[in-house]
Chain A
Amino acid sequence: MVKKMVSAKINGHAVTAPDSMNIIQAYWHAGFPRISGVGCLEGVCGSCRVMVRRVDSGKVTAELACQTMIEEGMQVQFLSFQTPKQHTYRLADFKNSWDVQSQFFDIFPEVSHCRHCGGCDVVCPKDIDVENGVGLAAMGRFREAGELFVECVMCNLCKSGCPEQIAPNQVGLFARRVTAYFHIRPSNLINRLEAIRRGEFRITR
C-alpha cells in the first residue's frame, strides 16, 4: 500500500497528488476549489463529468471524475453541466398502454434520425449499450430497452455525444417509466391497499 505521488493537469492547473485519489480528491488535495460538478462522490448522480486524456494516448474519453483515479500525466477538463431542453410528456396523458408506441415518436421525433454512429456508446461512463437501447425503444420494445438503462445516472453525456441531439438517456428513462406505469401491478400491494381502504387496519398507540 505504498502511496505514489503523481503529477497531472486538471482544468489547466498542475496538480500533484497520491495515486490513491480520484480526480476530485486530487484537485482538492492540491488546494484548488471545486464545487459545481461535485455531487454524490460515488458515481450515481452524474454531476462530475470530465474529459480525460491519458499520457501517450491521442484519445479523449468522457468519464465521471469521482470514479476515475488520478494518473501520471493525465489531462483533465471538467465539463459544465448543462440542463438540456427536455422532451415533455406526462404519463397521465397516456390513456392506455396501446397508445404508447404511436405517441413515442411524437415525443422523441429525433429517434428516427439515429445514424448508428455509436457516439453515445463511446461516451457513456457506465458502459451502457445505449444505441441498442434507443433502437429497442423505437421498435416499441420498452421493457427490454429500459432494462439496458438500469445503471444510467442521467449525466447527459450520451446526448452530448449524439450528432442528431437525441436524448438517449431520456428515451431510456421513458421506456422504464411506461413499463412501471402500465405493467407493475403487484397483487400483494393491491390487496393491502384494499384492506386499508376497507378499514381493516388501525393503529393502536
Chain B
Amino acid sequence: MAGIPYTEALSRYQIAAPRPLRDSSLAVADLLEQFHPDYLKNSTVELKVGANKGDRCHRDLARILQSDSRIDDLALAGVEVLETDVLVIGGGGAGCTAAITAAEQGVEVMLATKLKLGDSNTVMAEGGIQASIEPSDTPQMHYDDTLRAGHHLSDKALVELLAMSGPEVVRWLIQQGMQFEVNKYGDLLTRKPGGASAPRVVYYRDYTGLEMMRVLRESVRNCKVVVREFSPVVDLLSDESGHCAGAVLSNLSMDAYTVVRARQVILASGGIGRLHLNQFPTSNHFGATGDGLVLAYRLGAKLRDLDSFQYHPTGMAYPCHMMGSLITEGVRSAGVQILNALGERFVEELNPRDHVAAAIIRECAEGRGVLTEKGVGVWLDTPTLERQQPGIFERRFPKLVQRGKQGSVDPRQIPMLIYPTLHYQNGGVVIDVNGQSTVPGLYCVGEVSGGIHGRNRLMGNALLELVVFGRRAALHAAANLRRSGYHRVSLEHLSNMRRELMRLGEDMTYKGPQLFPDYANFDNDPDYRDLNYRIILGELGARIRKLVST
C-alpha cells in the first residue's frame, strides 16, 4: 500500500487550525459503495437454511449460523436441571437491565453469562447516551436523525419508542445511582453526535459505559437474581410446540452442562466484533463472537440486516498493539479534525459513522495515509484541539489520556493515528416493540437484536436501546409467564437444521457458537477439555448418523 511512513508524516505534521475541507469529488452513495467494507466484493453469501434462507449474509457470519451444534441430546443425559421463571442470557448492559427489571416484578430470575458479570461491550462504551433534553431538541428530531443515519431502513415503531423513551431512561439510570456530567447549575451537559441535528448525548467523561456497568452490576448483585458466571450458553431449548423453553449452559470452571428450564428467555448476548469480519481489528470485548445470533437462528428466529456492520471511524492504528481499540466520537463532537498524511482535511468530522469511515478508508487506499509497521491510518488532530481548548483532554477524556500513556503517545502532544475498527452489528434478531422475537418465549434485547439502527447506528443510541428494550422485554416477559412450562423440553429443533445441512452436503466439522476468538486457543485449553471432549463425542455421533442415513 502506498502512503507516507509514520516518522516522516509525523515530522510534517503541524498544529494549525482551522483547516479548509478538501472537495470530496465523490457522492456519498458512491463513496460508501466503493470504500465501505459492507460493500466489499465476495464478502457476502446467500443463506442456505433457516428462517432467512436466500438472504444475503456476511460470509463469516453465515459460517457460524450454518454450523453444527456443540451438543446433542446425548450430552444432556444425567446433567443438573434447574428451573426459573425468566432466564436472562448475557451479563452486559441489556442483560443486567432486564434482570433488574424482571426481579422487581417479583418473578424468579436467573442470569447466565459467558464470562464475569459486566464483561461486555457496554463497559467499554465511551461516548454516551442519547436523550432529547435540550430546548433546541425534540424526540421527533431524534427519531428523524436515527432514521436518516440508518438510511431509512429501521423499523419505525422501534425508533419511535427509542426516541420517546430517552429522557425516562436517563432518569432511571440516575435512580440506579449513575452519574452524568452536569454544569454548575446541575443541568445535564450534552454532546452532538455525528449525523445528528442537535446536541443530544449525555455522558460521563469518556467512561460512560464503565460508570453505567458498575452501577447496573451492583444493582443486579443487590436484588434477587441468581447469577451464573463463566457459563456460556451452547444452545437454547425448545418444547413440543416450538416455544423457547430454556437453555443449555456449559460451565467453564466445572466441566459440566446445566439444563435451565425457563418460562421466558431473554437473550442479551451482544455483538460480533471478535469474528474480525473482513480481517478488521475490533473495538469489541473478548466475548463478542455472535453467539446469540446462532442460538436464535437455530430455534427458527428471523434475523435481519446480516450484511451490515458498523466500522467506527476512530479506532487506534498506532501503536500497533493497541490496534482497533476505540477513541470516542466525543472527541469529534468536541471539534477535533481528521487529516490525511499530507495534512489535508478530507471529510466533515461530524458526518454519520459509515460516511466518515468510508472516507478514511478511501484516503488510505488512494495513497494519502500514514504507514506503520502493520497497517495504515490518518491523523486525529488532537494537539490542535488541546491548543484551542486547553485542559479538555484531562477534563473530558481521561481514558484516552490513560491509553495514550500506555502506548507512549500523549494525545495532547502528538496526533493519534486512526483507522476504522469493527464496532457494532447493525442488524440482528427481528423484534417487536416488546423485544419479542418471532419465536414464542424468546426475547432479544441489546446488540443481538436488529431493526433499530437500519444500516448505520448513531453514537449514543446503543446504550439507550439496551435500557429501553431491556426494560420493556423484562416487563412483558414477567407479565406473560406461561402457566404450563417445561413440557417435553429438548433439543429437537436442532435435528431439522442438522438434517437440512447434511442434505446440502455442508461441512459439519465446524461447531458453533464460536464462544471465543480463535487466538484464545479455547479448543485446546486443558481447563475446558470436557467441553471439547464432548465436541469430539458429538462429531462421532454425527459421523455415525451420516453412515446410517446413507
Contacts and interface: CB of A to CB of B under 8 A. Distances in A.
**Does A associate with B in a complex?**
yes
Interface in A149-205: 150-154, 170, 173, 176-181, 184-189, 191-193, 196, 201-205
A203 B516 contact: no
Nearest to B518: A28
B548 to A, nearest CB: 35
Contact of A196 (B139, B177, B287): B139
B229 A43 contact: no
Contact of A203 (B139, B222, B319, B521): B139
A172 B55 CA distance: 50
Contacts of B520: 28, 33-35, 38
B102 interface: no
B525 A176 contact: no
A69 B32 CA distance: 38
Interface string A22-44: 10010010011111101111111
A89 interface: yes
Given A42-B403, A181-B177, A193-B167, A86 B210 contact: no
B527 interface: yes
A20 B118 contact: no
Contacts of A152: 214
B80 interface: no
Given A36-B230, A83-B229, A173 B214 contact: yes
B302 interface: no
Given A33-B524, A188-B135, A151 B252 contact: no
B124 A40 contact: yes
Contacts of A184: 174, 179-180, 182, 186
Contacts of A186: 133, 180, 182, 186-188
Contacts of B72: none
Nearest to A67: B406
B167 A39 contact: no
A32 to B, nearest CB: 7
B252 A86 contact: no
Contact of A178 (B177, B209, B253): B177
A45 interface: yes
Interface string B147-186: 0000000001000100110011011001111111010011
Interface string B253-293: 10000000000000000000000000000000111000000
B492 to A, nearest CB: 30
B185 to A, nearest CB: 7
Contacts of A5: none
A205 B321 contact: no
A187 B186 contact: yes
Interface residues of A, number: 59
Interface residues of B, number: 78
- Of B177, B322, B325, most buried by chain A (CB within 10 Å of CB) is B177
B524 A45 contact: no
B521 A40 contact: no
Given A36-B115, A44-B124, A193-B171, A20 B320 contact: yes
Interface in A56-107: 67, 69, 81, 83, 86, 88-91
Given A36-B115, A39-B115, A196 B167 contact: yes
Given A86-B222, A176-B179, A150 B205 contact: yes
A41 B403 CA distance: 12
A201 B171 CA distance: 18
B210 A44 contact: yes
Contacts of B320: 20
B188 A196 contact: no
A203 B177 contact: no
B119 A39 contact: yes
A193 B168 contact: yes
Contacts of A176: 177, 179, 214-215
Nearest to A87: B222
Interface in B416-439: none
Contact of A1 (B139, B205, B252, B373): B373
B140 A20 contact: no
B221 A35 contact: no
B116 interface: yes
B252 A36 contact: yes
Nearest to B147: A205
Contacts of A170: 218
Nearest to A196: B167
Contacts of B524: 33
Given A44-B124, A89-B222, A204-B140, A154 B167 contact: no
A21 interface: yes
B525 A35 contact: yes
B207 interface: yes
A173 B368 CA distance: 47
Nearest to B405: A67
Contacts of B526: 33
A47 B135 CA distance: 41
B285 A45 contact: yes
A188 B134 contact: yes
| Leading 7 A-B pairs by shortest Cβ distance | A177-B177, A33-B525, A33-B521, A186-B188, A39-B119, A192-B133, A188-B187
Given A33-B525, A35-B527, A45-B116, 8 more contacts: A35-B516, A39-B286, A39-B287, A42-B403, A69-B321, A88-B222, A189-B133, A189-B171
28 contacts: A35-B528, A39-B119, A45-B118, A45-B119, A45-B124, A47-B119, A67-B406, A81-B116, A83-B117, A86-B222, A150-B398, A151-B398, A152-B214, A176-B214, A177-B178, A180-B177, A181-B177, A184-B179, A184-B186, A185-B186, A188-B135, A189-B170, A189-B187, A191-B133, A201-B138, A203-B160, A204-B140, A205-B160
